[in-house]
Chain A
Amino acid sequence: MSFNDEVPSPEELAEDYRSSLEDLSVNSRWEITNLTVIAKENIHAAQAISKVIEEHIQKTPPLRKLPALYLLDSIAKNVGTPYTLFFGRNLYRTFMDAYSLVEGPVRRKLEEMLQTWKQPVPGSTSSNPLFPAETTRKIDNALIKARTAAVQQQQKQMKQDNARFGIVQQPGPAAVNPGPYRSTPTPPTNGHGQAGPYNPPPQNFDARGEQSGNKATVGSIGSIGPNKPQNVNTYIQPQPTAPQDAPPLQGTQHSHYQQIAAQLGLTAPNLLANIPTTDALLNDIRPLITTTQARFAENPWDAEIQKRLKALLDLQTILSTQQLPTDQLSQIRDQLSRIAISVHVPAPPQSQVHQIPTLQAAAPPSLNMNQGPNLATLLSQYSNNHAPAANNSRNQTPPNISGPVPATKGLFESLISAGLLKASSTPPSSSGTKPSTPLNPGYYQSGLTKAPTPSVTSAAAGFIVHWETVGVELNSASLKTPRPHFVSILNDSLPNKCGSCARRFTNNEQGKKDKAAHLDWHFRVHQRIADSSKHAQFRSWYVGEEEWIKFREDEDDSNTTSLGQTHQGTDLDASTQEASSQNYIPAPNDAALSSLTCPVCKEKFNTVWHPDAEDWVLMDAIQSGGRIYHASCFAEISKESAGTASRGSTPDTSISKGKRKADQDLASIISKIKKEK
């Protein structure tokens, strides 16, 4: 606020107001009231201020949009005209722009706010709504349209994707961002059925229940996308497989499912009918397939989705070609209803690497690509290269891996293995022999892209990358192809991450040892950082070429001496190694004493950081009668036997070098760096 006598110009006010708006980051009643009062006091600048607010709402990041809109709401309700007039002009745009960018819960708040705008301001005499009815109606209509458009768009998207299936998917941004949805005001993933807290549906996909952290991470790359689950953690335990357990359509789940089913265009009677018919089931499957295909188009690497899609297609084939007993139909229906839920909700991220039952999911390595899938070579390749643990996951591929499935029996097996049917269900008498549709052969056989799934194996020993199968070359064209799965190579080749810094280790014994040593190092450094505030710190001199060539910064992370000794014991190593076993006294803090010399040899002391003493010390020093001597000099003059703490045990080269050279702190730097590493 200006303190001039004159009334500040609207421009100045607006500028001030703009800067105060920048601070409005959370939904704070106090701040909003404050800003409302300012707006009220400067009603003469209403036009400028409302413009500023509108601009702010438009520009501010989505997280801050809600408080800004609340401010607009507050001003409109508490101040009224002329603000309502100014806001009303652009209300549609202001509201819809913000609405399209914010998250589901915020949207609901916005909708609630919109409802209040249709009513007269509480306590006011006027019975007119806050904003003119036509303005709010326009917004209402847009919101309704957006919802329907979102559903339609989704369907359309699926069809397009189906059409595109034969060609190469360009993953990258298009797949990762909700790009296609930008054109619609509301991304469809946040429909109303979804906005609230979500109960995870029963998940049986991983009947074996084997889990491990790094596997989960591998899997999660597939699920980067608009549908990223918000409650990842709840997916971690697979539901125990209880055959014939309670029907899934009950209680909250039931109503939830109805919502979803309605959105998917399923008719409730079909699903809830006690005796399902084949036609009804086929009707149910169709939208599921389209949804899954759309999902697949978004995450082509998500093996879970691939698997499910294939199973659904197979199921469709069975149903359309043969008659099944009623009990099986109802079982299928139950299962479908679960899928309907889980398909609508993003696939659990724990999926891929260890449960890839179909060959398509197993991602033929690039070498094999052109000659088509060949399971035998694949498996033998893996088993040759890796521990049984690696095969363990691979070998559990169902028998119908490559190519057409000959019988319904096989289909059921594949459904079971995909988790779509329970193992207890009895396979029907097989008769039909219609081959299952291969998922999308063109996708894999295209020469342009390489196998989309990383050819990596989670073995017990850690993450192994089959580098010979990584199909990226050092040329400009090859580098241009996005390969999101490389992220997993980047992160998972050393899966064991230090909790305090970004350092990574392998998952094996050595890695654990290294990590333990590294954590010790963290502890020491932490202590020393706490201590270091007592001393003045300074930048060290750089080293010369010779020292630099010999220097190894990661020589000593673990305080193990073995590493240090393997490096042919340079004189620097020798001096520090030897020195640590020698006598030392704490270095005097007094600056005058820092250039202290030994009374015997008149040479300076070597000041180094001593890791055990956690302090700067004078090495090879001994204090006697208030004076400091070199331990060895002292030993000589006191005619003691030069056995124990003697200077003779130190190579002369290192001492003379360390002492005579002007850069005597070199050794200390080096030893320090080594300890710090």
Chain B
Amino acid sequence: MYTYLNLHIALEKLRVSASDCPPTTEGAQGPRILLIGPPDVGKTTVAKILTGYSIRQGRKPMVINLDTGGEGVLSVPGTISAASFGSVMDVEDGFGNSPMSAPSAIPVKLPLVYYYGLETPESGVKRYKRLISRMAVAVNSRLEEDIESKNTGLIIDTPSFDNQTNGDLISYIVAEFSITTIAVLGSERLYNTMLKSFSSSSNVSVIKLPTSGGCVDRDAPYKKAIRDATVKKYFFGDDKCTLSPYTVSIEFDSPTFSFWETVDALSSDNKRNTSFLPIGEDESSLQIGEGDVVRKLGPGDVDSRFENLVVAVLQVDAKDAGAKEVAESAVLGFVFVQEVDEKEKRMKVLSPVPGRVPAKALLVGKWPEGMFLT
């Protein structure tokens, strides 16, 4: 624990010197720390600790969650999100709540959310990178305007990077977010790899942190339960504040919505699409281009496999949704598909906000996997 305190004080020292610099200069940039390591070493926990400490000192850290496999920050699993933490966190509630209509004793935090829809970055590394770039642009523009956040810097939580293949992705994140400190948790090997790869760059320091004291390996069912609970919390709130989602009906053959699906590059589905099609079928319509990261779904593609999935309602309007826009759009919210009526071309969805679901592009992912919400 004292290591984390030391780390915080070291970061705080950098923040103090950043605050002393004129706002527009390079020096006003606070420390930007990236937490990496194998699964279950406490990356998110350290992120929470560092966030809590800096809030306690009156700072305003920007917390960025890139871990799509975890439980999400102020959002559902499968997303990456960024939020400025300028007010206290709830000790019982992790990173807290995103805005609700209800008043909250712990101030809510407004996140910027992107839906990735797959568990690991490897599954769709192209789109993952595009989302990261997009988010980095938004984060950097915000920091330019918000000097307090700029002085405080970033705290970035990541998916489990425990092998060599992620090196490229880590470098990418470091470059996009102008990371100044890479903290490696619980893996000597990863630490040495990082030391080697960033030894040449003078403005990135690599440090090693011990594994959090209470870390245990969480088994798959437990993680799944946590993910389900997160989704449930998004729609239904928690003990302190019960939320009432609304069941609404969506006609999926109407032009009001356009349905999209994330493409899992590692999945065998894509290959099957071309090889198992009946002869004479127009392959080109289904063929996945090399650069495609999302795929448009016709009304016929929507079927009962969507049931019990979380679908992202994107910010981009349905009418001007192209593959590029959909691939990079931020998220407006999520709906949960309760029932699909293939004959009537309708589906019942649980929408967090009363009224119609806005006429936006809807993006269906494979992650978080199907679940039952009561």
Question: Which A residues lie at the B interface, using CB under 8 A?
Answer: 172, 465, 467, 470, 472-476, 478-484, 486-487, 489-491, 493-494, 500-504, 506, 522, 525-526, 528-529, 532, 535-545, 548-554, 591, 594-595, 609, 662-663, 665, 669, 672-673, 676-677
Distance in angstroms from B327 CB to nearest chain A CB is: 14
Taken residue by residue from 75 to 106, chain B's Cβ proximity to chain A (1 for < 8 Å, 0 otherwise) reads as: 10000000010111101000000111111111
Q: Check A539–B3 contact: CB distance below 8 A.
A: no
Kindly state the separation between the CA atoms of A535 and B242 in the bound complex, as whole angstroms: 11
> Contact at B352–A539, with CB atoms within 8 Å?
yes
Q: Do residues A486 and B6 form an inter-chain contact, with CB atoms below 8 A?
A: yes
Nearest-neighbour CB distance to chain A for B60, whole angstroms, equals 7
With most chain B CB atoms within 10 A of its CB, the pick from A487, A502, A672 is: A502
Q: Does B112 touch A at the CB level, under 8 Å?
A: yes
Cβ contact of B353, chosen from A493, A540, A544, A549, cutoff 8 A: A540
CB contact between A479 and one of B60, B142, B207 (< 8 Å): that residue? B207
Q: List A contacts of B14 (CB < 8 A).
A: 474
What 1/0 mask marks residues of chain B from 189 to 218 whose CB sits below 8 Å from any chain A CB?
A: 000000000000000010111000000000
The CA of A506 and the CA of B53, in the complex, are separated in Å by 16
Q: Does B110 touch A at the CB level, under 8 Å? A: yes
Q: Is B250's CB within 8 Å of the partner chain A? A: no
List 5 A-B pairs, Cβ < 8 Å: A474-B205, A475-B205, A490-B5, A545-B330, A554-B60
Q: Are A503 and B6 neighbours in the complex by a CB distance under 8 Å?
A: no
How far apart sit A540 and B107, CA to CA, in the bound complex (Å)?
14
The count of residues in chain B whose C-beta lies closer than 8 Å to any C-beta of chain A is: 77
Question: Whole-angstrom distance between the alpha carbons of A412 and B287 in the complex?
Answer: 94
A479→B7 contact, CB < 8 A: yes
Docked complex Cα distance between A236 and B181 (Å):
44
Q: Report whether B101 and A672 are in contact in the complex, using a CB–CB cutoff of 8 Å.
A: yes
Contacts of B323 in A (CB 8 A): none
Query: Is the Cβ of A549 less than 8 Å from the Cβ of B104?
Result: no
Which listed segment binds A: B118-126, B155-163, B233-241, B278-286?
A: B233-241
- The stretch from B39-47, B297-305, B354-362 touching chain A is B354-362
Partner of A487, one of B5, B104, B142, B352: B5
Residues of B within 8 A of A480 (CB): 3, 6
Q: Does B224 sit at the interface, judged by CB under 8 A?
A: no
Smallest Cβ-Cβ distance to A544: which chain B residue: B315
Minimum CB–CB distance for B281 against chain A, Å: 37
B105 to chain A, nearest CB (A): 6
CB nearest to A552 among chain B residues: B146
Residue B9 CB within 8 A of the other chain: yes
* Contact A542–B112 (Cβ < 8 Å): yes
Query: Assuming the A-B contacts A484-B2, A550-B145, are A543 and B88 also in contact, with contact meaning beta carbons closer than 8 angstroms in the complex?
Result: no
Q: Which residues of B contact A479 (CB under 8 A)?
A: 3, 6-7, 10, 207, 209
Residues of B within 8 A of A594 (CB): 354-355
- B243 interfacial contact with A, CB 8 Å: yes
Tell me, in angstroms, the Cα distance from A490 to B331 when the chains sit together.
36
Asked if B242 contacts A467 (CB within 8 A), the reply is no
Please, how many angstroms separate the alpha-carbon atoms of A123 and B5 in the complex? 61
The one of A474, A486, A541, A676 that contacts B104, using a Cβ cutoff of 8 Å:
A676
**A553 and B6 contacting across the interface, CB-CB below 8 Å:** no
Distance in Å from the Cβ of A232 to the closest Cβ of chain B? Answer: 23
Given A479-B207, A479-B209, A538:B88 Cβ within 8 A: no
Pick from B31, B57, B113: contact of A494, CB under 8 Å: B57
User: Are the CB atoms of B10 and A537 closer together than 8 Å?
Assistant: no
Q: Given the complex, which residues of A lie within 8 Å of B11, measured CB to CB? A: 474
Contact B87 A553 (CB under 8 A): yes
CA distance A476 to B210 in the complex (A): 10
**Shortest distance between the CB of B181 and any CB in chain A (Å):** 6
Interface membership of B141, Cβ < 8 A: yes
The answer to whether A542 touches B331, judged by C-beta atoms less than 8 angstroms apart, is yes
Flag if B333 contacts A537 (CB, 8 Å): no
* Interfacial chain A residues near B355, Cβ < 8 Å: 594-595
Q: Please indicate which of the listed interface residues A525, A554, A595 has the most CB atoms of chain B within 10 Å of its own CB.
A: A554
Known: A494-B57, A548-B110. A554 touches B86 (CB 8 A): yes
Within 8 A of A (CB), among B123-156: 134, 138, 141-142, 145-146
CA A594 to CA B313, docked complex, whole Å: 22
The answer on a CB contact under 8 Å between A676 and B103 is: yes
Least CB separation from A545: chain B residue: B138
Contact B103 A529 (CB under 8 A): yes
Interface, chain B (partner A; CB < 8 A): 2-3, 5-14, 16-17, 31, 53, 56-58, 60, 75, 84, 86-89, 91, 98-113, 134, 138, 141-142, 145-146, 181, 205, 207-209, 234-235, 237, 241-246, 313, 315, 317, 330-333, 352-355, 358-360
> B332–A544 contact, CB under 8 A?
yes
A467 to B10, CA, bound (A): 10
In the bound complex, how far is the Cα of B4 from the Cα of A480, in angstroms? Answer: 9
Min Cβ gap A540→B in Å is 4
Are B104 and A525 in contact, CB atoms less than 8 angstroms apart?
Answer: yes
Cα distance A539–B111 in the bound complex, in angstroms: 13
Which residues of A have CB within 8 Å of B244? 536-538
Which listed residue, B10, B99, B105, B359, touches A501 by the CB 8 Å rule? B105
Known: A538-B100, A538-B354, A676-B104. A502 touches B242 (CB 8 A): no
Whole-angstrom CA separation of A501 from B315 in the bound complex: 34
Known: A490-B57, A542-B332, A549-B138. A472 touches B13 (CB 8 A): yes
Closest to A521 in B: B107
- What residues on A are CB-neighbors of B104 within 8 Å? 525, 529, 676
Given contacts A545-B112, A554-B87, is CB(A529)–CB(B105) below 8 Å? yes
B88/A502 in contact, CB under 8 A: yes
Chain A residue at smallest Cβ distance from B104: A676
Q: Please indicate the chain B residues that have their CB under 8 angstroms from the CB of A525 in the complex.
A: 103-105
Closest to B233 in A: A539
Tell me whether A491 and B56 are in contact (CB under 8 A): yes
Report yes or no: B13 in contact with A476, Cβ–Cβ below 8 A: no
Measured in the bound complex, the distance between the Cα atoms of B14 and A474 in whole Å is: 10
Q: How far is the CA of A472 from the CA of B207 in the complex (A)?
A: 13
How far does the Cβ of A551 sit from chain B's closest Cβ, in whole Å? Answer: 6
Chain B residues within 8 Å of A483, by CB: 2, 5-6, 9
Please determine whether A543 and B101 come into contact, CB atoms closer than 8 angstroms: no
Whether A494 contacts B243 by the Cβ 8 Å rule is no
Given A467-B12, A474-B14, A665-B353, 8 new contacts (CB under 8 A): A472-B6, A479-B10, A502-B56, A539-B235, A542-B98, A543-B110, A543-B112, A673-B107
The listed residue (B56, B89, B99) touching A504 by CB distance below 8 A is B56
Which one of B9, B145, B354 lies within 8 Å of A489 (CB-CB)? B9
Known A-B contacts A539-B333, A541-B353, A663-B358; the reply to A553 vs B86 at CB < 8 A is yes
Docked Cα-Cα span, A500 to B244, in Å, equals: 27
> Across the interface, which residues of A come within 8 angstroms of B9, CB to CB?
470, 472, 483, 486, 489-490
**Cβ-defined contact, B100 with A553, below 8 A:** no
Residues in B whose Cβ lies below 8 Å from that of A595: 355
User: 10 closest A-B pairs (Cβ-Cβ)?
Assistant: A537-B102, A539-B352, A554-B86, A528-B103, A536-B244, A476-B208, A540-B99, A482-B2, A548-B112, A662-B358
Shortest beta-carbon distance from A499 to chain B in Å: 13
Q: Which residues of A contact B7 (CB under 8 A)?
A: 474, 479
Asked if B330 contacts A542 (CB within 8 A), the reply is yes
User: Which B residue sits closest to A543, measured CB to CB?
Assistant: B110
Q: Are B353 and A672 in contact (CB under 8 A)?
A: no
Question: Cα distance A473–B181 when bound, in Å?
Answer: 12
Question: What separation, in Å, do the CA atoms of A75 and B100 have in the docked complex?
Answer: 56
Write out the residue numbers on chain B whose beta carbons fall within 8 Å of the beta carbon of A481.
6
Minimal beta-carbon separation of A10 from chain B (angstroms): 33
Could you say which residues of chain A place their CB within 8 Å of the CB of B107?
A: 553, 673, 676-677
CB <8 Å contact, A537 and B243: yes
**Separation of A541 and B245 alpha carbons in the complex (Å):** 12
| Of B10, B91, B101, the contact of A473 (CB 8 Å cutoff) | B10
Question: CA separation between A657 and B98, bound complex, in Å?
Answer: 23
Minimum C-beta distance from B19 to chain A (A)? 10
- Tell whether, in the assembled complex, residue A467 and residue B3 are in contact, meaning their CB atoms are under 8 Å apart: no
Q: A540 with B5: in contact, given A474-B181, A553-B86 (CB under 8 Å)?
A: no
A487 — which chain B residues lie within 8 A by C-beta? 5
